[in-house]
Amino acid sequence: MLNGILTRWEMLRDDNFQDFLKELQEYLKSKLNYTPLEDGSDYWMIDFDYKRYMEGYLPDADPFKHTRNFCENRYYDWWEIREMINEYKGDWVLDDAEILNRVLLK
């Protein structure tokens, strides 16, 4: 696995980060629950109750399970990728679904 610095270097080279985000979002679409909203927009949800997770009732749940697996399968440092997604969005990303629902590609 690449360490954080090498992961960041690889992502920033030749706009790899945009391509990585696009691939990650496609991967997440195959893993998360899809719910169309009344206004016709798409909405994606993780497979557990996030509120109960935050209250400590689901200690084994991982809100980034799919993103973490995606990164590990490509030998990227998960923590560095998460930090880069937060920087890209300009705010904290709370779970896999938020990467689809709130991280807009340029």
For the chain, the domain total comes to: 1
Question: Residue 38: inside a domain, yes or no?
Answer: yes
Other Cβ atoms less than 10 A from the Cβ of 91: the count is 11
Burial of 80 (0-12, 13-18, 19+ CB in 10 A): buried
pLDDT over 90 at 66, yes or no: yes
Question: Residue 106: inside a domain, yes or no?
Answer: no
Question: Residue 77: inside a domain, yes or no?
Answer: yes
Question: Has this prediction a pTM greater than 0.75?
Answer: yes
Residue 73 pLDDT level (bands cut at 50, 70, 90):
very high
Alpha helices (H) along 1-106 = 4-12, 16-31, 50-54, 65-73, 78-89, 96-101
Q: Amino acid identity of 45?
A: M
Rounded mean pLDDT, 44-49: 84
